[in-house]
Amino acid sequence: MPSDFHGVRIAGVLLAGGQSRRMGGGDKSLRLLGGRPILARVIERARPQVAVLALNANGDPARFGEFGLPVIADSVPDFAGPLAGVLAGLDWAAATMPGVTHVASFATDAPFQPLDLVPRLVAGLGGGRHRLACAASASQAHPVFALWPIELRAELRRALVEEEIRKVDRFTARYTLAQVDFPVGEVDPFFNTNRPEDLEAAERLLAVLGGV
Q: What is the mean pLDDT of each run of 10 residues along the chain (212 residues)?
A: 65 83 70 96 97 95 96 88 96 93 97 97 95 96 97 96 94 97 95 93 89 69
CB atoms within 10 A of CB 46: 22
β-strand partners of 110: none
% of the chain surpassing 70 pLDDT: 92
How far is residue 98's CA from residue 126's CA, in Å, rounded to a whole number?
Answer: 23
pTM to 2 decimal places: 0.92
pLDDT for the residue 2 = 46
4: left (phi over 0), alpha (psi -120 to 50) or beta: beta
What are the distances in angstroms from CA 124 to CA 36, 119, 135? 32, 9, 9
